[in-house]
Amino acid sequence: MSVLVVGLSHRSAPVGLLERAALDGDAQAKLLEDVLASQHAAEALVLSTCNRVEIYADVDKFHGGLSDVSELLARHAGVPLSVLTPHLYVHYEDRAVAHLFSVACGLDSMVVGESQIVGQVKRALGLGQAAGTAGRVLSGLAQQALRVGKRARTETDIDRAGRSLVTAGLDAAVQVLGTVAGREVLVLGAGSMSALAATVVSQAGAGGIAVANRTVERATRVAASVGGQALALEDLDEALARADLLISCTGAVGHVLDAPRVAAARARHGERPLVVLDLALPRDIDPAVHDLPGVTVIDLETLAASALTDQIHVAEVEAAREIVVEEVAAFLGWQRAASVAPTVVALRGMAEEVVVAELTRLSGRVPDLDPRARREIETAVRRVVDKLLHAPTVRVKELAEEPGGHSYADALTRLFDLDPRTVEAMTAATMPPVEPGEAVGPAAAADLLDRRDPPSPGGGS
């Protein structure tokens, strides 16, 4: 496994650049297709959220893979590679595993410990599997990351307050509004973040909630869950005029609201003060809205500079980091152990071919051999072969779990002159694709190896 991660996030890039790199569903699918078609990538996943865009690829060469993936990311962002490169971060092999595990735990989020990232990783996995770009390596890695994220949230209080980007943004809005109770709220969008925002302001006692979306049916579902009003985007002006708080997190590519429309709507009700919480990437709200009198805009850039993102106990962060370190070591050990299994299977297959060939030769030379004696000879031959192979195959499995363990499989291949094509075929045959929800991880290592090392006919030690 040689996993490469190339990405940019709120930690490495300004919001303006993140906006340009942001990918909708169709763009993600196209990028996956392009990465898989590149020279050095065998698998690909894209994780695109409101504050990060990352490409995960299983590559055969580090430098070649890095060049291919970086160029594709720049092309899809419509940004020269020279502009994008200073803001990219790169992780490879064990660091790539550690990075994704940290991401799934919420340790790399703008709001530490936020829980929405788990769903975003799951969606990235689903898209990669649907597109046929996520195979055994990246599907297994993502499945394990989801398990690690769940473990961190079960064993620590890293998300004890249920914080997310939505709740952090609303905290910032409350600092301006004083309270959400009794306020008129307009929510743009009907996705998971919009639904969460509507639920939180409803629980906080909002006076009225309107939900506007391009598809009114989806807006109706969200609005009904909070006793609100559903609107089409083109019909939101009256609700905007009444609003004290506007929350926007659509998946639109361009601006949903421009400054003239916001100014005109506000003028209908005496230009009452308005707080705009723009959680979309790219931004839904025209930056010119910042300059309107009486309007306070809180966006991802605002939140990135806010102390709200750091309000979590250091002890919980450290506990989650320890889980990541432990899980990375276990996962890499499992990967190394699993990688040697096809070689063991190929070795036993070669041994079986030798046994069969010699027994066939014996039958030709001694055709009148007593059947009982023939069975005894066959059993003895198989026992000898099994005993000779038992210690080295058991030992190579143990050694494979250590760093550099793949070298022992290489040694077996060379010592017994195994055909590399046979080992590759065994790898394909013994590595079925990961299905969504399938458990993948260190706990399955022993069973995985045992299934690939069948007992020799005629018994053995």
- What angle in degrees, to the nearest 10, is found between the helix axes of 371-400 and 406-415? 150
Residues marked active site are found at 50
- What angle in degrees, to the nearest 10, is found between the helix axes of 314-365 and 371-400? 160
- What angle in degrees, to the nearest 10, is found between the helix axes of 116-131 and 136-155? 170
Which pair of structure tokens corresponds to residue 163? 């914080």
Among residues 133, 154, 156, 139, the alpha carbon closest in space to that of 100 is found at 139
Q: Are strands 52-59 and 295-299 parallel, antiparallel or unpaired?
A: unpaired
Which pair of structure tokens corresponds to residue 168? 């952090």
93 CB-near residues (< 8 Å, 6+ apart): 1, 2, 3
Tell the burial category of 229 from Cβ atoms under 10 Å away from its Cβ (0-12, 13-18, 19+): middle
Tell the burial category of 20 from Cβ atoms under 10 Å away from its Cβ (0-12, 13-18, 19+): middle
What 3-state DSSP class applies to 350?
Answer: helix
Which pair of structure tokens corresponds to residue 291? 């300059």
Among residues 24, 18, 299, the alpha carbon closest in space to that of 165 is found at 299
Angstrom CA distances, 145 to 95, 103, 315, 329, 331, stand at 13, 8, 21, 13, 10
155 CB-near residues (< 8 Å, 6+ apart): 319, 323
Tell the burial category of 43 from Cβ atoms under 10 Å away from its Cβ (0-12, 13-18, 19+): buried
- CA torsion sign for 92, 48, 77, 80 is negative
